[in-house]
Amino acid sequence: MTPQAESVIQLFRATGAYLEGHFRLTSGLHSPNYLQCALVLRHADAAEKMGRALAEALRQTVQEPISLVVSPALGGVIIGHEVARALGVPFLFTERDPATRAMQLRRGFTIQPGETAVVVEDVITTGGSTVETIQAVTALGARVLAAGSIMDRSGGKAEVGVPRVALATLEVEAFAPESCPLCRQGLPVVKPGSRPA
Ligand code: ZN
């Protein structure tokens, strides 16, 4: 693990954002750990520091100037904003249309054809939200140069169709309930967010 990854994970642990126990993920799978990014990002200085680091990693990955940062709401909004601040470019976010569930720009956000974007999330697991955000802004004429996240829970495997960076990469440990070793030990399973951390 790189020193940067270690310091990011340490920051998560110190702020209670890296939860260890027995969790039921949104997917229905059980996991011994869970990342609650909102808990680390509530500290504006930590968010700013990680935003600067991610901006630097993105800058080193792309060959041309970045003209905007786009994030999927809600998870990507705080870190995306900090990356945009560090890059000195505007920040937009996509939201799901309540009726169609399609990811789209709302609130009067516009993109000019030819703009160069990076897409930023808090955590990438499958890359699904990043891919949907890339599609939404590409459809409006932007070129997405790269994607970034604070954490990569895919162990580096998530493919989003553009170069991708993360401050820390973890291998997701998840089990079907019927083959979960924590269930076998009789540990009660917790839905993250359902209790104070
Ligand atoms: Zn379990």
Ligand 1 centre distance from Cα of residue 28 (Å): 10
The alpha carbon of 148 and the centre of ligand 1 are apart by a number of angstroms equal to 30
* Ligand 1: centre distance to CA 100 (Å): 33
CA–centroid distance for 13 within its chain: 17
Domain residues of the chain, as ranges? Answer: 3-184
pTM score, whole prediction: 0.90
Ligand 1 centroid, distance to 192 Cα (angstroms): 13
Distance CA 101, CA 151 (A): 25
27 Cα: distance to centroid of ligand 1 (angstroms): 13
**Residue 106 tokens, joined:** 């709302």
Tens digits of residue pLDDT in 107-152: 999 999 999 999 999 999 889 999 999 999 999 999 999 999 999 9
Ligand 1 centroid – CA 2 distance (Å): 30
pLDDT tier at 197 (50, 70, 90 boundaries)? very low
According to CATH, the topology of domain 3-184 is Rossmann fold (3.40.50)
**What burial class does residue 88 get, using C-beta atoms within 10 Å of its C-beta: 0-12 exposed, 13-18 middle, 19+ buried?**
exposed
- Per-residue pLDDT of 150-186, as tens digits, reads 999 999 999 999 999 999 999 878 899 999 999 999 9
pLDDT tens digits along 16-71: 999 889 999 878 899 998 889 999 999 999 999 999 999 999 999 999 999 999 99
* Alpha-carbon distances of 135 from 8, 12, 147, rounded to whole Å: 29, 30, 12
